[in-house]
Amino acid sequence: MLDYLLSFLILTGALFTFIGSLGLVRLRDFFTRLHGPTKATTLGVGCMLIASSVYFSNQGTGMSLHEVLVTLFLFITAPISAHLLAKAALHLKLKSLTPPPDTDKADY
């Protein structure tokens, strides 16, 4: 039973991480590319870390919860890097599929 749960978590994690990176290559402009990694990768790594937590908790050496820290850290930092990247791209006036409203009143 535990085996199946672990396999499921690991496979889901790896699949989402892969799809996130696939989005990085497949999509056509910077702003759409930004979506793949920031979302798919957080859930992918999250699943992987939960799997690790479950695995090491069942090794007979007591609970292992410190994976939660990395998950928490990633969930807090991933949006911040995405926001900063989007801001930098707007600042540099990168080519976009849809024109941004007005690039002149940036507040950096």
Residues between 36 and 65 that touch other proteins (CB under 8 A): 36-45, 48-49, 51-52, 55-56, 59, 64-65
Q: Which of 46, 43, 35, 26 is nearest to 83 (CA)?
A: 35
Does 97 bind other proteins (CB under 8 A)? Our answer is: yes
CB of 60 to other proteins, least distance (A): 12
Does 108 bind other proteins (CB under 8 A)? Our answer is: yes
Does 30 bind other proteins (CB under 8 A)? Our answer is: yes
The 10 Å Cβ neighbour count of residue 27 is: 15
Residue given tokens 């979506």 in the structure block: 35
